[in-house]
Structure 1
Amino acid sequence: MKQPNFQKSLIAAAVATLLGSPAVLAQQNEDAKAEDGKLERIEVTARRTNESLQEVPVSVSAFGEGELQRDGIEDITELQYKMPNTTFQVSRGTNSTLTAYIRGIGQQDPLWGFEPGVGIYIDDVYVARPQGAVLEVLDVQRVEVLRGPQGTLYGKNTIGGAMKYVTRELTGYNEFEIKGTVGTFNQRDLKVSGQTALADNFYVGGAFATLNRDGFGEFVNTGAENYNKELMTGRFNAKWLVNKDINVKFAADWTQDDSNARGGHREQESLLSDKPRLTDVYDSYSAMPTWNEVETEGYSLTVDWAINNDWMFKSITAYREGFTNTNIDFDSTVNPVLLVPAVYEDDQTTQEFQFMYRDDRLDFVGGLYFYEGEACGEFGTVLGLLNLSIDTGGCVDTSSEALFGQATYRLDDQWSVTLGGRYTRDEKDADVFRYTYAGVKFLDRGDYSADPIVVNSDFTTQADWSEFSPQASVSYQVDPAVMLYASYSNGFKSGGVDMRADVSLNPDASKPYDPETVDTFEFGVKSELLDGRLRLNAATFFSDYQDMQVTVQRAIEGGGIDSQVLNAADSTVQGLELESTFAATPTLNFTGSLGYIDAEFNSVEFFNSDTQQVEDVSDLWSFQNTPEVTANLGFTKEFALESGSMVWSTSISYRDDTQIFELPSPLDEDGYSLTNTSLVWYSNSGQWTVGLHAKNVFDKEYRLSGYNFGSDLVENIVTGYYGDPRTVSLSVGYQF
């Protein structure tokens, strides 16, 4: 590689470091072999500045590009098995919609207008909607997951935590990489990426991937594939070094997912169909087309300016949009019992201004954040056997402004104190409709001229909320290898409007629900022991979760579903987390993580439309998608060969019993373990890699989610969605 002919000043290098734009050296440090058996330094930007993982008083996990490629990680959902108290999963009948929970806080329902509890960020740009948020690993430098409320620096809807997807930095070097993968179920993947300098001060780069796989099963009555993959994604980057103090970066990304909508596995025999219940959990029936289309794209412009030796400024301007058109058969039979065609569309514009200051004792990050977004959608509830169709839809316009700041002051070489806060104001305008029609009707009204027989809902509403989220922490550097910290943080998730509201069943359903908040106290230790060969980080936390937004959907007699979103619950969440890496020898590393969480509802009150009474069901409810124990144990062993080196890595992950919904149901999953193993050869030149990856080695069958309406709608509707079976893939990569 030939380095472009230009000179960077020290202050420009500081901009790259302090403004969260890690230079190539940071990645080299992350992927470098440990010297003398010591562990390498891991850089993160959890506090919007570049710091060592061991210096940040935050419970955070980080995964570098080298580790992701070595383990054959394909998308971010696979990381849940490497982290404590974390759930990243594909949502039910979809392929690229994300269900994310951290420490018991998240979002089960991916309906438009509902806010996530875990913030997803692509290069500091907030991704507001879960559709298309199952991010593929492409052109990525590292992934960081911050646990606990991140309401000060990240703000909007990070009540549970935040996940940062950091793409590769443009360096101006000539680089090209191509990687092909084949595997079981006719997997056929191709990834291409590269970058170059068009001038001494102007760099460009890009990446493209086409990812394809046959289904794990099929829709038996139609022959269509089930759990298949047909996806293309790409990104383009450009960087302009205006002068020694200013650089401008542009990024664009897009994804097109044409995989079939997923069909669920019937957990109970059908009451109406003469078709047998299928034994293969990846096979299904469907009474509607199984096509699905998800499109997302985003653009961002980032300006970094080193004002002087102490002050720096950053501007992030971004726009994102998404479109989803899908069909989901809830009951998974050949009968049209409960069919749900759906269309979602959203766009968002964000602007963030950051000011940063650093001297020998004080680090400060502060600024302004603005968000404008519109989320629209419409879905049908086709009850074919009842000869009824219900159309539900509407739009939510959201405006959000925030003022934030956080400062860390080093009292001496051992003590540091951090104080921060964020003031946020959210405003939402929503229109909601819900109409019931006689007959079978799909979403295209142009083919259906009949008037609705019932206007269940047709209203507009507006609400606004403001919230101040404080944060404080103190850290004590016992010695160069051990740091203790204690912190308090507050987070909130925005209020909203129930887009399924049925005013005919519940007159209060049109009222906006308020934000939910959490106060978390955390105590932790970060240490590197045994002369830098053992990294041991631990944290314990206690959270007071208030005004929890509870989504309740109940099938009612005569057809229809009563939906409510209420600030109906208060709860307590407490637990501990442990992450460790041990360099037993210069060529053998062990890794491990352990999470324990005790989450319980103190009170849950909601309106029962059947009894017309408010009921407290806290003694019946438990936290969803929150296993009590999560654990991972793995090793990496390197073997020296004449042609290069061979690295063998294996991990075993465990997730305890998991309740899918707040109420116990037949969908709840017992604890299970998964084993993954990889064998990767690296050539001496560093240009060639060959990887053999086996996942779910013992072909464990495990359920992730589902729909549960029992037999309240004429038919038993208990359908489950499952994790991937055993897969084996072979990858060959070349780079220069």
Structure 2
Amino acid sequence: MNLRNSRIALFVGVGLLSSTSAFAQAGPSAASPSDPAPQADTSGQAAAPAQSEGFEDIVVTAQRRSERLQEVPLAISAFTDRDIETRQINSTLDLVNYVPNLIGHNNTGLATANTYALRGLANTESISTFDPPVGTYIDDIYISRQAANNFQLFDVERVEVLRGPQGTLFGRNTTGGAINVVLRAPGETFGGYADASYGRYNRVQLRGSVDVPLAGGHLLTKISGYYVSADGYVHNEVTGQRLNGENSWGVRGAVRALLTDTVHWDLSADYIRARGSNLPNFYDPTTDRRVSFTPLRTDTPIGSSLVSSQLADNTLGNDARTYMLTSNLEVEAGDATINVITGYLHLYQEYITESFAGLNSGSVTFDGVNFLGGNRGTATPLVNDSWSRQFSQEIKVSGNAFNGLLTYVGGIYYIHEDNETNFANISIPLAGQPVVSGDRIMYNDTEAYAGYFQGDLHLTRQLTFTAGIRYTDEKKTIAFTPNDSPLPRSSAVNQPFDTQDLIDAGIPTELRSRVWTPRFALQYAFTPDINVFVSATRGFKSGGWNSRAYYATGAQAFRPETIWSFEGGLRSEFFGHRVRVNLTGFYYNDQDTQLPGGGFDPTTNTITYLTRNVADQRNYGLEAEISVNPIRRLNIFWSAGIQRASYHNINQLTLDQQDRCLSGIIVNNCNAGIITPTGDIAKPTRAPHFTSTLGANYSFDLGNRLSLQPSVNWNYTSGTWVATSNDPRGFQPAHSLFNAGLTLRSGSGWSLGVECNNCFDKTYITSFLIYPYLNNPGSWMVRARYEF
């Protein structure tokens, strides 16, 4: 589908949905005696029926204060706990099915890490010297590292996806946007839920939560947890093991102390151990199964004969352990509310990935996603131990002034992050001596201070002018220590180095950024249910180092990237809140775009990693989110995105690389970075011209307080590149996915359901490093739930 046809389809769809609903029903009707009884939520309180009259208001905190979704002049996709259940959103990665212009998948090798591309801005690198452009927040706490950002949504009140830069109120590393997860606070009455599921690949999933009020209702407590176990879906043809399984669990405790009528204190602690891998694998059409040929095992340590002593106990796979402490003290002081927000997060991760999957990469052949054959070859383990410790402190003030003329939010923010990464890259041939490209420890720290303020000046009852500004002062440092490796070097270039070697090479070991990120918006409300806005926002993403280098001069620093984004939008509801139409148009210019890349170097038989500023990236597009409630108990929704991204102002280093490629120096010049195999400038990755999700759910009243609720959705993504250099093997043609579910509910709190994700088991490409990385296969699950 080309861009012109995509636009036509989008606008025609808007018209059809709106006009159809106009004839369906002009407004809500009175509740009938046959309506299903209210369902109990996890706090034990009565919730609305599964299908209410019109659409409920969704309260969001996208501007760091509570507001109705329809009144916020931002591009936001918001999902309530009911949406999360109905649309089968089990983890943050499932959000990509429902957000316009959002593409996401597991990182190469790591199923605990999600890579997001929002409006074409992406990051496929999980190492700590490279920051993501889509920030993740849990209860107002920024999660710096994407190594464990694939959260299980087991006790969530709401998820908000903010599209576009959020540099004023959320700060650095949100050039693409932000994912804001709001966990459910302890309830005021005793209650909870228990949920048990079983599915494909012997997947067992258990979830539960209970609220217990104490001290006469002045101390509210909650404990919740989950457990997931699943067999691997990949057959290792060499060892006989199953790969890419999952075994994870987590527990969370939360307390809300109601100290006075105007003061309450929220405290929480959680621990999550997530074990899951995304090792490269191939779809074998002759056996209809996923296969791998790596000689490495999940139950055998790699050993001190191959890597330094601290890494010797690592096995194939990934194990991430996270604990997090949060505190939010809220004080209401007249027309102002003060929040003192504190967060501490500790992440430990160890893994081995194997990018060659035990094959000779030159012998592997494909027909699309179908594996045709390949010969056994060198294994290339990346062995990693890493620690990340993060502390943040924020004081936020929000409220109204001048008799409601000004609504504001402002504050000060501090974050400190320490990272230590011990990692080795080795090559193990079928016969002969293994070699090492690098075995070293990297230390990198970040310290940042910020102050921000945003005010909404209500010029008239209908017209509001918003202006905001944030100042960020950030310092990053880096240091290296080589490990004693038992192996010879893979080449004369790949030699041990330390921090002094970087200094001698002229590479800075400290980076400093001082950046202002303003925002301006103008909003006009024609009616309480129809408003339009225009905005201009600046954001930035931190600089860093090419820290996977095998020698000192390769660990080059790269600059921060900055973005100006311009948006215009419509927020509207019609016909008694039965039709909701939200449209957003955008254009941005992202300067000094940071691009990570990896490729095979045939001269050393190793993977070469390179991250640098390659060019400016521009993108423009249109996004639509439309919901219709044409008749009682029927919801229809459609989200769609159109975009066209391209590179401009190509960096001189990239132009020099292009010249070498065109002059016949192929290795590490052609088919590397953003230079295509033929020497052209590539198109940006993960920026499909058109994405669309169309879905519906209905509630059949069966009587006796029973209801049957089917749901279905169709997700379409047009063709897109996943290889940064536009390697032909890294193009994913247009594809469709279908998800469906059926739930039997009782007014007494129990429910039984069956669901499938990727119901027709579509196989497609999500990433590319040496070989295409494939999506997870389709899944089904049966579920029993009881709410009390």
Report the Cα offset of residue 496 of structure 1. 1.4
1:651 aligns with 713
Report the Cα offset of residue 126 of structure 1. 0.3
Cα deviation per residue 1:499-528 (whole Å; 9 max; x = unaligned)? 123446xx4x44432210110000000111
Report the Cα offset of residue 394 of structure 1. 0.3
Question: Is the 1:143–1:163 contact (alpha carbons within 8 Å) kept by the matching residues of 2?
Answer: yes
Q: Which residues of structure 2 form unaligned runs of 5+?
A: 1-40, 298-315, 359-375, 504-508
Is it true that 1:493 corresponds to 2:541 in the alignment? yes
Amino acid at match of 1:284: S
Q: In structure 1, which of residues 294, 298, 306 is the aligned counterpart of residue 332 of structure 2?
A: 306
Amino acid at match of 2:495: V
Report the Cα offset of residue 602 of structure 1. 0.8
Q: Which residues of structure 1 form unaligned runs of 5+?
A: 1-23, 268-275, 443-450, 709-717
CA distance in 2, matches of 1:575, 1:28: 42
SS state of the match for residue 604, structure 1?
Answer: coil
Is it true that 1:245 corresponds to 2:262 in the alignment? yes
Is it true that 1:396 corresponds to 2:452 in the alignment? no
Cα deviation per residue 1:397-422 (whole Å; 9 max; x = unaligned)? 10000000101111111101110010
CA distance in 1, matches of 2:685, 2:702: 48
Question: Is the 1:393–1:499 contact (alpha carbons within 8 Å) kept by the matching residues of 2?
Answer: no
CA distance in 2, matches of 1:353, 1:285: 53
Report the Cα offset of residue 668 of structure 1. 2.0
Summarize the alignment of residues 627-646 of structure 1 with structure 2, pairs less than 5 Å apart. 627-643=688-704, 644-646=706-708
1:551 aligns with 596
Summarize the alignment of residues 66-77 of structure 1 with structure 2, pairs less than 5 Å apart. 66-77=82-93
1:567 aligns with 613
Q: CA, structure 1 residues 399+251, in 2 after alignment: closer, same or farther (shift >3 Å)?
A: same
CA distance in 1, matches of 2:204, 2:227: 8
Question: Is the 2:193–2:210 contact (alpha carbons within 8 Å) kept by the matching residues of 1?
Answer: yes
Summarize the alignment of residues 562-601 of structure 1 with structure 2, pairs less than 5 Å apart. 562-601=608-647
Question: Is the 2:45–2:189 contact (alpha carbons within 8 Å) kept by the matching residues of 1?
Answer: no
CA distance in 1, matches of 2:243, 2:340: 44
2:520 aligns with 472
CA distance in 2, matches of 1:216, 1:249: 41
Amino acid at match of 1:388: V
2:19 aligns with none
Question: Is the 2:110–2:279 contact (alpha carbons within 8 Å) kept by the matching residues of 1?
Answer: no
Report the Cα offset of residue 551 of structure 1. 2.6
Summarize the alignment of residues 438-457 of structure 1 with structure 2, pairs less than 5 Å apart. 439=487, 454-455=495-496
Report the Cα offset of residue 617 of structure 1. 4.6
Consecutive aligned runs of 4 or more in structure 1 exceeding 6 Å deviation: 24-30, 608-616
Q: CA, structure 1 residues 327+345, in 2 after alignment: closer, same or farther (shift >3 Å)?
A: same
CA distance in 2, matches of 1:148, 1:693: 32
Cα deviation per residue 1:622-654 (whole Å; 9 max; x = unaligned)? 111222211000111110012411111100001
Question: Is the 2:43–2:187 contact (alpha carbons within 8 Å) kept by the matching residues of 1?
Answer: no
Q: CA, structure 1 residues 726+98, in 2 after alignment: closer, same or farther (shift >3 Å)?
A: closer
Q: CA, structure 1 residues 113+29, in 2 after alignment: closer, same or farther (shift >3 Å)?
A: farther
SS state of the match for residue 599, structure 1?
Answer: strand
1:624 aligns with 685
Q: In structure 1, which of residues 209, 232, 242 is the aligned counterpart of residue 226 of structure 2?
A: 209
Q: CA, structure 1 residues 206+105, in 2 after alignment: closer, same or farther (shift >3 Å)?
A: same
CA distance in 2, matches of 1:724, 1:337: 23
Amino acid at match of 1:584: P
Report the Cα offset of residue 32 of structure 1. 5.1
CA distance in 2, matches of 1:191, 1:494: 37
SS state of the match for residue 557, structure 2?
Answer: coil
CA distance in 2, matches of 1:335, 1:488: 53
Question: Is the 1:435–1:452 contact (alpha carbons within 8 Å) kept by the matching residues of 2?
Answer: no
Report the Cα offset of residue 72 of structure 1. 2.6
Amino acid at match of 1:226: L
Q: CA, structure 1 residues 80+113, in 2 after alignment: closer, same or farther (shift >3 Å)?
A: same
CA distance in 2, matches of 1:503, 1:730: 52
Moved more, 452-461 or 486-495: 452-461
Report the Cα offset of residue 33 of structure 1. 5.3
CA distance in 2, matches of 1:733, 1:674: 26
SS state of the match for residue 282, structure 1?
Answer: strand
Amino acid at match of 2:736: S
1:325 aligns with 350
CA distance in 2, matches of 1:375, 1:61: 32
Summarize the alignment of residues 235-384 of structure 1 with structure 2, pairs less than 5 Å apart. 235-259=252-276, 261-266=277-282, 280=288, 282-289=290-297, 290-308=316-334, 310-333=335-358, 335-359=377-401, 360-384=404-428
Report the Cα offset of residue 658 of structure 1. 2.1
Question: Is the 2:464–2:524 contact (alpha carbons within 8 Å) kept by the matching residues of 1?
Answer: yes
CA distance in 2, matches of 1:225, 1:628: 37
Q: TM-score, normalised by structure 2?
A: 0.82
Q: CA, structure 1 residues 62+473, in 2 after alignment: closer, same or farther (shift >3 Å)?
A: same
Q: CA, structure 1 residues 407+28, in 2 after alignment: closer, same or farther (shift >3 Å)?
A: farther
Is it true that 1:424 corresponds to 2:472 in the alignment? yes
Is it true that 1:667 corresponds to 2:675 in the alignment? no
Summarize the alignment of residues 75-154 of structure 1 with structure 2, pairs less than 5 Å apart. 75-154=91-170
Report the Cα offset of residue 182 of structure 1. 1.0
Question: Is the 2:559–2:613 contact (alpha carbons within 8 Å) kept by the matching residues of 1?
Answer: yes
SS state of the match for residue 67, structure 1?
Answer: helix
Is it true that 1:604 corresponds to 2:650 in the alignment? yes
Report the Cα offset of residue 34 of structure 1. 5.7
Report the Cα offset of residue 25 of structure 1. 13
SS state of the match for residue 574, structure 1?
Answer: strand
Report the Cα offset of residue 688 of structure 1. 0.6
Q: CA, structure 1 residues 305+400, in 2 after alignment: closer, same or farther (shift >3 Å)?
A: same
2:780 aligns with 728
Q: CA, structure 1 residues 213+156, in 2 after alignment: closer, same or farther (shift >3 Å)?
A: same
1:523 aligns with 568
2:3 aligns with none
Q: CA, structure 1 residues 329+552, in 2 after alignment: closer, same or farther (shift >3 Å)?
A: closer
1:6 aligns with none
Question: Is the 2:617–2:646 contact (alpha carbons within 8 Å) kept by the matching residues of 1?
Answer: yes
2:739 aligns with 676
CA distance in 2, matches of 1:189, 1:90: 20
Amino acid at match of 1:223: G
Amino acid at match of 1:546: Q
CA distance in 2, matches of 1:119, 1:58: 16
Report the Cα offset of residue 555 of structure 1. 3.9
1:459 aligns with 502
Q: CA, structure 1 residues 318+156, in 2 after alignment: closer, same or farther (shift >3 Å)?
A: same
CA distance in 2, matches of 1:57, 1:89: 29
2:765 aligns with 703
Question: Is the 1:540–1:575 contact (alpha carbons within 8 Å) kept by the matching residues of 2?
Answer: yes
1:14 aligns with none
Q: In structure 2, which of residues 244, 260, 265 is the aligned counterpart of residue 227 of structure 1?
A: 244
CA distance in 1, matches of 2:636, 2:47: 17
Report the Cα offset of residue 227 of structure 1. 2.4
Q: CA, structure 1 residues 562+217, in 2 after alignment: closer, same or farther (shift >3 Å)?
A: closer
